[in-house]
């Protein structure tokens, strides 16, 4: 109930035009805050100008980064930020909690009280240091002199999650009730993020709860949905002050920071790695174009079945997070279908036959459905170019997840399929299941095919000078389809083109499978030309 009340209050505030309120501290909003982390005042001013231009909503002056820090330098910078009308947090972080310089606590405390007198809206001080009476009384006096300014009492855990984050949160709240508690920890796995989400869900008022590290990325993006007082964005990778910090440009352009609200439905791509996936770009562009209150996230789920199942359990047991669908990639496609089957969800005949799913949806009653849009995507890419597959001799190279989807689709037609794979046993097993032929890669020189389909990762970036077959084997009357889409023009496709063969790009399959997912996620038709343009720009 508490959560719902905050949500409603926040919704009302979100509808305000923030710009009208520049220079004022709006309670109950999530400030997109850029840390200014420079070695000298001149560089810091440059970063401040860049952050304003990049649409920061608040700045954090990381005074611990300033070389030979003095009170005068701190005042100069506060005064410079005040001219921008953006609210400012002054921080002079303890080395033990991730600070840059190794300034003594006395100097750091004095610099922060000076910053308050110079007009800092907030100062961030480690709560461990605030336990010292002599330090806390100095800070309290400065806060009393500047009653509009506020104290952020922080704690940073670099070794993993807090033992008991709720206890630490309550401790800070009791220690200085007017403070904004800030609890930040390293998420070693995405499953570590749920402590942070629960704390935000169960508490009200201003508080900052975030996870660091690659696995903590989503906590920074959905901080606004969950009502953290700030989320931090870097200007670029060089000025990032914590691992996993996202650039402000990505917050604004890729994740539509301005549109994020508490009701937003969440989607994402589950996999490992996911950083280079084009899916967040294309789905978010589609959601934006259709003006849908939906957000698509990269969900780095390291590990195997156990970690995947735990992630799904975490998500499905918290319907307030509003996750409604997932794309699934390596290594979790088999885990995805098994999870849905174990939970009594729906799986269609072809997906069952393939034995792997690349899409999961969650309906409003929490029911799960698994699909395989790789199969339909691949078949659309093929049949857009080849009308009739009857009796077409088709060589599929690879016996992994994509090969399964392609072979399942092809054997549903009257194509004559042979699977070539490095590990012959895998090819034979797949061929046995789908009633076709198998061979090792050593048989490729004797290849006799109308259609060649590469379903291995050979030729994928960064090893772009590799091809699964030599140029000489490609004939003019062949159709060559490379499922690899990064790069778009693989060496295999280049060779096929120069041999005069017809080619099908992996991007065609990628767009076709994403089109199906968009339909499943939204019930609407995707704008495929926008998807293609966005994917091309991403590649």
Query: Binding residues for ligand NAP, per CB under 6 A?
Result: 330, 374, 377, 398-403, 421-423, 426, 455-458, 460, 483-485, 506, 509-510, 513
Return the number of the residue (112 or 378) whose C-beta is nearest ligand NAP.
Answer: 378
Q: What are phi and psi of 486, to 5 degrees?
A: -130, 95
Does 156 qualify as catalytic in the annotation? Answer: yes
Task: Report d(CA 377, CA 535) in Å as an integer.
Answer: 15
DSSP of 85-105, one letter per residue? T--EEEE---GGGT-SS---H
Contact 397, 450 (CB under 8 A): no
> Residues 394-407, buried b or exposed e (16+ Cβ, 10 A)?
bbbbbbbbbbbbbb
Return the number of the residue (148 or 533) whose C-beta is nearest ligand NAP.
Answer: 533
Reported residue count of the chain is 539
Does 374 qualify as catalytic in the annotation? Answer: yes
Residue 389: how many other CB atoms lie within 10 Å: 20
What lies within 8 Å, CB to CB, of 310 at 6+ separation is: 191
Least distance CB 358 / ligand NAP (angstroms):
8
**Two tokens, residue 373:** 């849009």
Degrees (nearest 5) of the Cα angle 91, 97, 103? 60
Contact 199, 229 (CB under 8 A): no
Contact 38, 61 (CB under 8 A): no
Contact 467, 459 (CB under 8 A): yes
What lies within 8 Å, CB to CB, of 338 at 6+ separation is: 305
**Per-residue three-class SS string for 500-530:** CCEEECHHHHHHHHHHHHHHHHHCCCCCHHH
Considering the candidates 10, 182, 189, 225, report the single residue annotated as catalytic.
Answer: 182
Return the number of the residue (129 or 411) whose C-beta is nearest ligand NAP.
Answer: 411
Nearest alpha carbon to residue 407 among 440, 431, 442, 372: 431
Return the number of the residue (259 or 457) whose C-beta is nearest ligand NAP.
Answer: 457
Indicate if the alpha-carbon torsion angle 374, 375, 377, 379 is positive or negative. Answer: positive
Least distance CB 533 / ligand NAP (angstroms):
17
Least distance CB 418 / ligand NAP (angstroms):
14
Return the number of the residue (192 or 374) whose C-beta is nearest ligand NAP.
Answer: 374
Least distance CB 278 / ligand NAP (angstroms):
10
What lies within 8 Å, CB to CB, of 308 at 6+ separation is: 270, 301, 332, 335, 336, 339
Least distance CB 437 / ligand NAP (angstroms):
16
Degrees (nearest 5) of the Cα angle 388, 391, 394? 90
Least distance CB 330 / ligand NAP (angstroms):
5
Least distance CB 347 / ligand NAP (angstroms):
19
Contact 166, 196 (CB under 8 A): no
Return the number of the residue (393 or 426) whose C-beta is nearest ligand NAP.
Answer: 426
Considering the candidates 374, 380, 392, 482, report the single residue annotated as catalytic.
Answer: 374
**Per-residue three-class SS string for 229-297:** CEEEEECCHHHCCCCCCEEHHHHHHHCCHHHCCCCCEEEEEEECCCCCCCHHHHHHHHHHHCCCCEEEE
Give the DSSP H or E segment for 454.
strand 451-454
SS3 of 56, please?
coil
Least distance CB 387 / ligand NAP (angstroms):
21
Nearest alpha carbon to residue 258 among 8, 14, 534: 14
- Residue with nearest beta carbon to ligand NAP: 400
DSSP of 28-50, one letter per residue? S--EEEEEE--SSHHHHHHHHHH
Burial grade of 188 (CB within 10 A; 0-12, 13-18, 19 or more) = middle
Considering the candidates 10, 156, 224, 332, report the single residue annotated as catalytic.
Answer: 156
Least distance CB 180 / ligand NAP (angstroms):
44
Least distance CB 508 / ligand NAP (angstroms):
8
SS3 of 244, please?
coil
Question: In whole angstroms, what separates CA 132 from the centre of its chain?
Answer: 39
Considering the candidates 10, 225, 283, 333, report the single residue annotated as catalytic.
Answer: 333
| Catalytic positions, written as ranges | 156, 182, 333, 374
């Amino acid at each position: 109930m508490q959560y719902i009340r905050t949500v409603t209050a926040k919704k009302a505030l979100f509808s305000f035009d923030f710009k009208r309120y520049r220079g004022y501290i709006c309670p109950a909003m999530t400030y997109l805050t850029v840390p200014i982390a420079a070695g000298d005042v001149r560089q810091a001013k440059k970063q401040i100008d860049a952050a304003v231009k990049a649409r920061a909503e608040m700045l954090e002056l990381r005074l611990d980064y300033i070389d030979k820090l003095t009170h005068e330098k701190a005042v100069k910078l506060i005064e410079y930020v005040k001219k921008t009308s953006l609210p400012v947090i002054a921080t002079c972080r303890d080395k033990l909690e991730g600070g840059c310089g190794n300034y003594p606590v006395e100097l750091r405390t004095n610099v922060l009280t000076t910053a308050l007198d110079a007009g800092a809206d907030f100062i961030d001080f480690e709560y461990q240091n605030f336990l010292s009476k002599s330090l806390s009384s100095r800070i309290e006096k400065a806060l009393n002199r500047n009653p509009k300014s506020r104290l952020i009492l922080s704690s940073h855990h670099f070794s993993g999650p807090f033992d008991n984050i709720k206890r630490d949160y309550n401790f800070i709240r009791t220690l200085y009730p007017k403070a904004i508690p800030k609890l930040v920890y390293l998420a070693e796995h995405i499953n570590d993020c749920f402590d942070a989400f629960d704390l935000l869900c169960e508490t009200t008022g201003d508080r900052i709860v975030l996870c660091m590290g690659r696995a903590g990325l989503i906590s920074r993006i959905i901080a606004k949905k969950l009502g953290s007082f700030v989320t931090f964005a870097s200007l670029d990778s060089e000025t990032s002050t914590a691992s996993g910090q996202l650039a402000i440009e990505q917050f604004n352009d890729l994740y539509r920071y301005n549109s994020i609200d508490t009701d937003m439905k969440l989607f994402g791509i589950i996999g490992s790695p996911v950083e280079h996936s084009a899916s967040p770009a294309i789905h978010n562009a589609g959601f934006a174009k259709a003006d849908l209150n939906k957000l698509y996230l990269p969900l780095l789920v390291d590990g195997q079945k156990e970690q995947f199942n735990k992630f799904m359990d975490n998500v499905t047991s918290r319907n307030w997070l509003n996750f409604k669908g997932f794309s699934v990639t390596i290594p979790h496609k088999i885990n995805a279908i098994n999870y849905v089957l174990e939970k009594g969800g729906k799986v269609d005949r072809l997906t069952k036959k393939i034995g792997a799913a690349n899409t999961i949806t969650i309906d409003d009653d929490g029911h799960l459905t698994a699909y395989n849009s790789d199969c339909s995507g691949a078949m659309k890419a093929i049949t857009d170019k080849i009308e009739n597959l009857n009796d077409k001799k088709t060589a599929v190279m690879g016996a992994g997840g994509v090969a399964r989807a392609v072979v399942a689709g092809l054997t549903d037609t009257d194509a004559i399929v042979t699977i070539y794979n490095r590990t012959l046993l895998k090819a034979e097993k797949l061929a046995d299941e789908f009633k076709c032929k198998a061979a090792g890669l050593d048989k490729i020189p004797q290849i006799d095919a109308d259609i060649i389909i590469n379903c291995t990762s050979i030729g994928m970036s960064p090893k772009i000078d590799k091809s699964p077959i030599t140029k000489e084997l490609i004939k003019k009357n062949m159709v060559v389809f490379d499922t690899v889409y990064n790069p778009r023009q693989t060496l295999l496709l280049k060779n096929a083109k120069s041999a005069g063969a017809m080619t099908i790009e992996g991007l065609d399959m990628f767009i076709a499978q994403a089109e199906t997912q968009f339909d499943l996620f939204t019930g609407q038709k995707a704008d495929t030309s926008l998807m293609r343009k966005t994917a091309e720009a991403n590649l």
